[in-house]
Structure formats: C-alpha cells, structure tokens
C-alpha cells in the first residue's frame, strides 16, 4: 500500500481550535505566563494540526510549545493528542551527544573507576602477534608464557608506543619546558636517570631523585632540572686583601693630652680635610 504524504493544509476544525491548544500548553507548563504568542499552525496528518506557541520557560529561550490536535473520522469533536516542548530555530540546545569513551580525558579516572578498552583498540595488539619491540617480544616468546597463562594477553602496538612517546616528549617533563631550558644538563647524563626497557628506553626514563619535581615520573632524556646529579655548587671566591671605603673618613690632628682645666685642653681639634 503506497504511503500517503502528509497534507500541507491543516484540518479546518483542528486549525481553528487555538484556544484548546493554548489551554493544553498552559496545563503542561504549569503556569499561564509560561506560554507566549501563537507562532502558527501546520498540518501533520489527515484530520490533525500542530499549533506552536512561544515558550517563556526560564532557561528555554527560543523554544516552543508544540500541541498536536486531532479528531476522529466524521467527528466534530477535537481532542489533544500530544503536548511537548521543542527547540526552535534559534533555541539554545545541548551539543551533539558524544560517547563516553570519546569524552573521557587524562586525569578523569578516580579511585574505583574502571576504564575498559575495546577489542579493536589501536594502541594494543594481541600478545601472540608481538608488538614490534624486541625486548618486550622476547619476554612474551620465552617459554611460551602466553600459553602457560603467565604472559600478557595484549601488548602495546607500534602506533601506541609512538603516541605515548610524542605525548611524553611534548608534556610537562619534555625538553621544551622552562625547567628543561634552565637546567645545567640533560637527564640523559644524570645519575638519577633510570632508563626504560626496550625501544622506549632510547628516549625516555624515570627520575629517581626524591628532591626533583619529576621524581617517579617518566621524563625525556632531553629533559633536565636543577636537581641534576652533577649540578655542583661552586664555592665563593676569597677576597684579596682588606678593602676600605675611605670616601667619608674625616682626618683630624691628634690632640696632645694636657692636665685637666688647662687652656689647651679646651681647644677643639682642627680638621685636616676630607678624603
């Protein structure tokens, strides 16, 4: 049976029942002032019409009350079929829904949370396919650990390692940070630098200096800080001789001691001048 297209002209009885539609919208909104001006009416199906009213609900700017009226065949009585609040052309709406897996960001995980990975996660590959890192692959292969239940089901793929390396290189403990630029030397030459195993160890390691801000963190070999093992403090240089500032010294003639009460004893010393 062919599908009938919706008529463009609304049913006359339903179209003229604007008061019934408004009362239905007010009943749904819970307040008369929440329903604004009548915005129009359109046909949806035979013997029906949809009335639109401006919504004045707080927080729903640009939204509309949509009221669908219908009547039975050959009936003269119009009834309310549906009342809903719908966004208009200028309505403020929520952004397009994004799956939680795409919304989660680093640092969102809290104690007790679980962040499962998918079977097709491009950062991981099955352990039996090997990940392309010789040292890691050797660990998986020795003794057929996977078959014995001792190995890891999946290991990081080449793309996963490259993404992690780029993230660490550009991150807080990479060579482009202010700390690294002001450091006396690189982490690669520091005695507290602990190399990572495998391919990642070529450019990254962990800091083992308890006084460094990167202690226990993965750092780039090109990173550095003031807690470098070879950042020795230079002793201050010894001053040569004794320096005096005589710019304000005043030289006077030494006074000869006379018996108390004599005239010479009362005479003031004569200044010789200023240096």
pTM of the model: 0.46
Query: What's the average model confidence in pLDDT over 256-271?
Result: 56
For residue 190, give the 3-state DSSP assignment.
coil
- What's the pLDDT tens digit per position in 115-169? 777 777 787 777 656 545 555 555 544 444 444 445 677 878 888 889 999 999 9
Contact 53, 36 (CB under 8 A): yes
| Contacts (Cβ under 8 Å, ≥6 apart) of 4 | 46
- What's the pLDDT tens digit per position in 37-82? 999 999 878 889 999 999 998 888 899 999 999 999 888 899 999 9
Instruction: Give the integer Cα–Cα distance in Å for 237 and 89.
Output: 77
Q: For position 136, what pLDDT does the model report? A: 53
- What's the pLDDT tens digit per position in 233-255? 555 566 555 555 556 666 666 66
Contact 215, 233 (CB under 8 A): no
Instruction: Give the integer Cα–Cα distance in Å for 250 and 44.
Output: 109
Contact 53, 39 (CB under 8 A): yes
Q: Where are the domains of the chain?
A: 12-87, 123-156, 160-220
């Amino acid at each position: 049976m062919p599908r009938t297209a919706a008529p463009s002209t609304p049913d006359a009885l339903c179209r003229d029942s604007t008061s019934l539609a408004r009362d239905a919208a007010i009943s749904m909104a819970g307040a008369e002032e929440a329903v604004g001006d009548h915005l129009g009416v359109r046909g949806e199906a035979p013997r029906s019409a949809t009335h639109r009213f401006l919504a004045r609900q707080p927080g729903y700017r640009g939204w509309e009350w949509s009221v669908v009226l219908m009547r039975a065949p050959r009936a003269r009585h119009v009834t309310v079929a549906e009342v809903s609040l719908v966004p208009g052309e200028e309505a403020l709406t929520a952004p397009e829904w994004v799956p939680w897996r795409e919304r989660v960001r680093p640092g969102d995980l809290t104690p007790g949370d679980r962040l499962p990975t998918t079977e097709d996660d491009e950062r991981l590959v099955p352990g039996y396919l090997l990940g392309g890192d010789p040292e890691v692959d050797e660990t998986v292969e020795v003794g057929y650990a996977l078959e014995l239940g001792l190995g890891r089901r999946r290991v990081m793929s080449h793309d996963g390692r490259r993404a992690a390396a780029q993230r660490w290189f550009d991150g807080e403990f990479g060579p482009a940070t202010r700390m690294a630029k002001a450091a006396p030397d690189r982490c690669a030459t520091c005695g507290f630098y602990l190399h990572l195993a495998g391919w990642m160890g070529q450019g990254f390691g962990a800091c083992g200096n308890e006084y460094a801000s990167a202690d226990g963190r993965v750092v780039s070999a090109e990173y550095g800080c003031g807690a470098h093992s070879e950042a020795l403090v230079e002793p201050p240089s010894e001053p040569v001789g004794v320096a005096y500032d005589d710019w304000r010294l005043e030289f006077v003639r030494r006074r000869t001691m006379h018996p108390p009460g004599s005239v010479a004893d009362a005479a003031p010393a004569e200044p010789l001048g200023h240096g």
